[in-house]
Structure 1
Amino acid sequence: MNRVVLRRAGDVVEARELTEDGTAVGVTRHRAGELAAVVADRERTPVRWVWDDTTRWYPGLLDAGVRVERCTDLRLTHAVLRRSPFVDQALLAAGETADWDALQPVSAPDPALFPLDDPADTLDPVAEHGRQQAAVAASAEPHRLALLLAAESSGALVAAEMTHAGLPWRADVHARLLTELLGPRPASGARPAVLEALAQEVRAALRAPGLNPDSPGALLAALQAAGLPVEDTRSWTLEQLDHPVVGPLLEYKRLARLLTANGWAWLDTWVRDGRFRSWFVPGGVVTGRWASNGGGALSVPTQVRPAAVADDGWRLVVADVAQLEPRVLAGMSGDDAMAEAARAADLYEGMVAAGTVETRAQAKVAILGAMYGATRGESGRIMPRLARRYPRAIGLVEQAARAGERGDVVHTLLGRGSPRPTGAWAERAVALGEPAEVSGSPEERDRARRAWGRFTRNFVVQGTGAEWALCWLADLRNRLWRLGGTGPLEQRPHLVFFLHDEVVVHTPEPLADAVAEEVRAAAATAGRLLFGGFPVDFPLDVSVVASWADAG
């Protein structure tokens, strides 16, 4: 399969075609307005587009009705390679390396196809692509890295497509929900009626008639003046109190969060033409998990999910995998006993059935403790039993924790590296592999080391879980395209939401059952890509619904 490297030069686009071994076989130049037609024509045969950053190229193509099957996103792959311990960093070194390091994605699209003064325009994608190819080929794990980079770039295509298509959203349903929960929409700067009534109850219970419950400082002072032994105003703290203010105050905080995060202002800003459109940011978290830019797309609360309604004649297929990270831990460690527990639809119940623990609650606490470093309480008590039953799985996270405490870099299954630790305790340890003689008490240094060890313990599992999810997305994206239809993306089954271990697909109703099967098949493919023939299962809970709120 040939690759085509795209580069901007003013209002002209240069397309340089490379063979698989990197040999240049031709270059063409096109006016910017011709690019969509050129790409659409070239997509008739297998091709991989190589560009500086998907957020700069793909939205305009999608707006023109052009879908790209494969790409290499140089910005994302550069970031992965620069941190991977599999890679010789000297192979990535060049005068523009720091500029590639600093390159950021764009979100709000410029009215022009190519914005002025874009830092990407000063970079040489052909040279960077060559450096990346050489670094992967010479790496300790070229096949793993190649899979990671392909999945990462596919994720960038998915993210752009989800923003383009948008999550179906009924503004009238959302507004009705807000009115039912908060009262009619108030004048600008005023509280909704239900919140104001709750505020009055809080003031009366605390005998503080001028209290503004939205001010944490004022609220804390009022609680303490009422004789309540609190040091903060967090909901968990308030739940421990026995006082008439607790009920109305907790309800006030709950509804105030809804108003701030997903109230009328959110509706006005983020829902247009029956769609909620945010910008998803692949690799936005160091573990490889996604972030979002605008609208809180990765934290849509259940209170407003009834507004996510499929179009007439369409359905939403909602799928999430049960206990993704423990299953990933079983697969990446090759722990047969944990994989046996994972064959159950509920891994925690599988642990109970194997006699490892007595209850599901114990299993959940113990596994989460192993992955997050909880060594006290119930988790710490059960940990020795887990270590005996699942020695490879527990050994893997323990090894990652010890590496982090030494200041070492750890990596995911496919080679994404953890950031180096910060803080005085780590400076000499990172440089020399020795304990540092630094300021701060021994206790402070030990706490810092242990905290970083907890981070690296979780990094290897969470990051590999993100890799599994990327492979799931990449395969599912292409399966959906092949299912049916001849029109653009939004007229076929297409992804509209993704969060760690959950996807939502918008599909014509006649294809809904076929979509559900493809979702499951893509999950099985992701497991094989990462873990080969190792027998670890990734069962899905799949629902075909009219509204996201109706998913199981």
Structure 2
Amino acid sequence: MPFLVLTDDPVRPDGGVVVQDVTDEGVAGERTAIDRSGLPGLVAAREQARPRWVWDDTARWYPRLLAAGVRVERCHDLRLCHAIVRRSAACEGSALSLAPPSQWDEPQRGEPERAALTLFDDPAGPARGARLVDDLAELGRQLAAVAGAASSGRLRLLLAAESTGALIAAEMQHDGMPWSTTVHDAFLTRALGARPRGGGRPPRLEALAQEVRASLGHPSVNLDSPPELLRAMRSAGLDVTSTRTWEIRTLEHPVVAPLLEYKKLARLLSANGWSWMNTWVSDGRFRPQYVPGGVVTGRWATSGGGALQLPASVRSAVRADPGWRLVVADAAQLEPRVLAAMSGDQHMAAAGRRADLYQGVVDAGIVATRQEAKYAMLGAIYGATTGPSAVLMPQLTRAFPHAVKLVEDAARAGERGEIVSTWLGRSSPLPGQLWQDVVQRAAGEDARPDDARAARGRRREWGRFTRNFVVQGTAAEWALCWMAALRRRLRALDGGPHLVFFLHDEVMVHAPAAVADEVATAVREAAAEAGRLLFGDSPVDFALEVAVVDSYDQAGKEYPATPLPVLTFGPART
């Protein structure tokens, strides 16, 4: 499969574009220079050969093509792939991993408008074009590093999946999620009262604020200022250390009910109120800014719109167009199933041969209730050391020894300050300097008992991080392969069904009603393909819950009351 490297032409004052043919072995071939206005036509013509486009940032190049009605099948995102290859233990000792920090190690730029200077300019620097980035050389370094890796096949799959994810993120922002501002406005009006004119609180919020002030005996306290509210609560005789919801719930005082309701509605107004709607919803579409690989495990983040924190209360506004349907699918207990496949634990795989893995654990006689099964499984993955999860760990260890050993080994590696890697080869960062300092101080001749306790705490904390890294990161890889396989199938269906939403283990497709059932089948087939791509003939079933609905709230997914932990060591942006 040929590569086509796409860059700005640094020698042309009109902002031209260069397309460079490159063979699979990294040998440069034909070079074409064109005006920027001719780029969509050239890409559309060359796309017939199914090349892999190579560019510095998908978020910088692809939106321009989408705006011109041009879509590509494959790409290689140099910046995303650089981050994976440079940090991967599989590429240790390569020229890329040993090179000093460069432009490629800086955060993704995105925003095509910002790059109007040229690809090679530093927008923050005094001299434009002072840092010429050699895309061909970077591609060569990446190809060489992957070719020299012990698990090169897995790493190539990861780079392809990561780059396809970047294409999907750009397409979802371009296409947008169908959103009814009428339904959203009606919901906000019911919850908050009429939309205030010229600022101020909505009526419902203002009434609650007055009730809270009266209960505290402070008629002018600003409820949106935590320090002010905390002082008012203390002066009213309440023994509190913060204004956090969980602490307020423990109190017995007339202020509790109105204050909790105020906090809930104030959060709604701030996160998904009228201002949010005006900013992020246009022409009946919600267009958030996704950040592929924005979390260190490979999970996505967002840099605007908050799509990954879309509350259940506003999901009724996500409505299919007339004549269209929403196909919503989520992978049931994805991380435990990934753990079973990674570890080769046949007993855990057997428990997962049904839609509800937790119930499978109960039916196998390992624990008594589904809730206990969930506590035990999540405790193993997230490293719970107290509470119900810790109590149930011995049963889980006896039942699933290989699965538990995998996460325990990852935890011990983290406690030693070592790197761990996902199934396809994304590696964890090393602990930071503070961690190193604390551990070294405890090992010194002048160490005090407090130093040893601090070091143990730091080691355990990092061990919990690496324990989950291998599972959460591999689950993110499975999800990327799932979306890539689904995207390919959707392109082959009539009517233009397309992905409009992704949340870790859940996807949503906007599809013409006539092909909605075919889309549901494609979703399931893509999940099975993702399992085969990663784990071959593993007996683990990746069960899905699939719903074909008119609005998102009809999908009926059971979301946990408390969000599961997300590893945010790294450049997460929300």
TM range (shorter): over 0.9
Which residue number corresponds to residue 2 of structure 2?
2
2:221 is aligned, of 188, 211, 222, to: 211
Determine the C-alpha separation between the residues in 2 that align with 1:351 and 1:105: 46
Please say if residues 426 and 436 of structure 1, whose CA atoms lie closer than 8 Å, have aligned partners that are also in contact.
Answer: no
Which residue number corresponds to residue 64 of structure 1?
68
Determine the C-alpha separation between the residues in 1 that align with 2:65 and 2:24: 24
Determine the C-alpha separation between the residues in 1 that align with 2:119 and 2:29: 29
- Percent of aligned positions that are identical: 58
The residue type equivalent to 1:412 in the other structure is T
2:191 is aligned, of 178, 181, 193, to: 181
User: What are the residue-to-residue correspondences of 1:244-255 with 2, within 5 Å?
Assistant: 244-255=254-265
The residue type equivalent to 2:246 in the other structure is W
Determine the C-alpha separation between the residues in 1 that align with 2:321 and 2:22: 42
Which residue number corresponds to residue 533 of structure 2?
529
1:24 is aligned, of 21, 24, 28, to: 28
Q: Does 1:46 align with 2:68?
A: no
User: What are the residue-to-residue correspondences of 1:325-404 with 2, within 5 Å?
Assistant: 325-404=335-414
2:465 is aligned, of 447, 455, 477, to: 455
User: Please, what TM-score do these two structures have when normalized by structure 2?
Assistant: 0.91
In structure 2, the CA distance between the partners of 1:453 and 1:230, relative to structure 1 (3 Å rule), is: same
Q: Does 1:76 align with 2:86?
A: no
Q: Does 1:270 align with 2:315?
A: no
**Offset from partner CA, 1:235-276 (integer Å, 9 cap, x none):** 112222222221111111100000011111111111111111
Please say if residues 199 and 252 of structure 1, whose CA atoms lie closer than 8 Å, have aligned partners that are also in contact.
Answer: yes
Which residue number corresponds to residue 479 of structure 1?
489
Q: Secondary structure at the match of 1:50?
A: strand
2:246 is aligned, of 236, 239, 245, to: 236
Which residue number corresponds to residue 91 of structure 2?
87
Q: What's the CA shift for 1:400?
A: 0.7
Determine the C-alpha separation between the residues in 2 that align with 1:410 and 1:429: 19
**Offset from partner CA, 1:423-461 (integer Å, 9 cap, x none):** 44425979xxx9567897221121111111111111111
Q: Does 1:501 align with 2:511?
A: no
- More divergent stretch after superposition (251-260 vs 265-274): 265-274
Please say if residues 424 and 477 of structure 2, whose CA atoms lie closer than 8 Å, have aligned partners that are also in contact.
Answer: yes
In structure 2, the CA distance between the partners of 1:436 and 1:98, relative to structure 1 (3 Å rule), is: farther
Q: Secondary structure at the match of 1:44?
A: helix
Determine the C-alpha separation between the residues in 1 that align with 2:234 and 2:332: 43
- More divergent stretch after superposition (214-223 vs 60-69): 214-223
Which residue number corresponds to residue 310 of structure 2?
300
Which residue number corresponds to residue 489 of structure 1?
none
Q: Does 1:101 align with 2:105?
A: yes
Determine the C-alpha separation between the residues in 2 that align with 1:108 and 1:254: 37
Please say if residues 404 and 453 of structure 1, whose CA atoms lie closer than 8 Å, have aligned partners that are also in contact.
Answer: yes
Determine the C-alpha separation between the residues in 1 that align with 2:5 and 2:135: 7
Q: Secondary structure at the match of 1:241?
A: coil
In structure 2, the CA distance between the partners of 1:436 and 1:399, relative to structure 1 (3 Å rule), is: farther
Determine the C-alpha separation between the residues in 1 that align with 2:298 and 2:444: 30
**Offset from partner CA, 1:193-249 (integer Å, 9 cap, x none):** 000111111122222222222121222222223333322221112222222221111
Q: Secondary structure at the match of 1:514?
A: helix
Determine the C-alpha separation between the residues in 2 that align with 1:247 and 1:297: 29
Q: Secondary structure at the match of 2:141?
A: helix
Which residue number corresponds to residue 150 of structure 2?
140
Please say if residues 166 and 277 of structure 1, whose CA atoms lie closer than 8 Å, have aligned partners that are also in contact.
Answer: yes
- More divergent stretch after superposition (540-549 vs 65-74): 540-549
Q: What's the CA shift for 1:16?
A: 1.3
Determine the C-alpha separation between the residues in 2 that align with 1:357 and 1:320: 25
Q: Secondary structure at the match of 2:320?
A: coil
2:291 is aligned, of 277, 281, 289, to: 281
Q: Secondary structure at the match of 2:32?
A: strand
Q: What's the CA shift for 1:287?
A: 0.4
- Please give the root-mean-square deviation of Cα atoms over the aligned residues, in Å: 2.1
Q: What's the CA shift for 1:96?
A: 7.8
Please say if residues 468 and 530 of structure 1, whose CA atoms lie closer than 8 Å, have aligned partners that are also in contact.
Answer: yes
Please say if residues 36 and 66 of structure 1, whose CA atoms lie closer than 8 Å, have aligned partners that are also in contact.
Answer: yes
The residue type equivalent to 1:528 in the other structure is R
Please say if residues 282 and 291 of structure 1, whose CA atoms lie closer than 8 Å, have aligned partners that are also in contact.
Answer: yes
Determine the C-alpha separation between the residues in 2 that align with 1:455 and 1:414: 18
Determine the C-alpha separation between the residues in 2 that align with 1:534 and 1:549: 34
Determine the C-alpha separation between the residues in 1 that align with 2:371 and 2:391: 14
Determine the C-alpha separation between the residues in 1 that align with 2:527 and 2:16: 41
Determine the C-alpha separation between the residues in 2 that align with 1:546 and 1:20: 45
Which residue number corresponds to residue 488 of structure 1?
none
The residue type equivalent to 2:373 in the other structure is A
Please say if residues 282 and 290 of structure 1, whose CA atoms lie closer than 8 Å, have aligned partners that are also in contact.
Answer: yes
Please say if residues 425 and 436 of structure 1, whose CA atoms lie closer than 8 Å, have aligned partners that are also in contact.
Answer: no
Please say if residues 439 and 455 of structure 2, whose CA atoms lie closer than 8 Å, have aligned partners that are also in contact.
Answer: no
In structure 2, the CA distance between the partners of 1:261 and 1:252, relative to structure 1 (3 Å rule), is: same
Q: What's the CA shift for 1:21?
A: 2.0
**Structure 1, unpaired ranges of 5+:** 486-491
**Structure 2, unpaired ranges of 5+:** 124-128, 557-574
**Offset from partner CA, 1:360-405 (integer Å, 9 cap, x none):** 1111111111111111122111111111111111111111111111
Q: What's the CA shift for 1:497?
A: 0.7
Determine the C-alpha separation between the residues in 2 that align with 1:224 and 1:112: 55
Determine the C-alpha separation between the residues in 1 that align with 2:195 and 2:117: 38
Determine the C-alpha separation between the residues in 2 that align with 1:549 and 1:107: 32
Determine the C-alpha separation between the residues in 2 that align with 1:165 and 1:320: 21
The residue type equivalent to 1:278 in the other structure is P
Instruction: Name the count of aligned residue pairs.
Output: 543
**Offset from partner CA, 1:109-159 (integer Å, 9 cap, x none):** 459595793569721111111110010010121011011001000000000
The residue type equivalent to 2:415 in the other structure is E
Q: What's the CA shift for 1:3?
A: 1.2
Q: Does 1:317 align with 2:327?
A: yes
User: Please, what TM-score do these two structures have when normalized by structure 1?
Assistant: 0.94
Q: Secondary structure at the match of 1:86?
A: helix
The residue type equivalent to 2:179 in the other structure is W
In structure 2, the CA distance between the partners of 1:474 and 1:236, relative to structure 1 (3 Å rule), is: same
In structure 2, the CA distance between the partners of 1:94 and 1:347, relative to structure 1 (3 Å rule), is: closer
Please say if residues 148 and 415 of structure 1, whose CA atoms lie closer than 8 Å, have aligned partners that are also in contact.
Answer: yes
Which residue number corresponds to residue 157 of structure 1?
167
- More divergent stretch after superposition (77-86 vs 201-210): 201-210
Which residue number corresponds to residue 520 of structure 1?
524
Please say if residues 77 and 152 of structure 1, whose CA atoms lie closer than 8 Å, have aligned partners that are also in contact.
Answer: yes
Determine the C-alpha separation between the residues in 2 that align with 1:232 and 1:103: 35
Determine the C-alpha separation between the residues in 1 that align with 2:207 and 2:113: 42
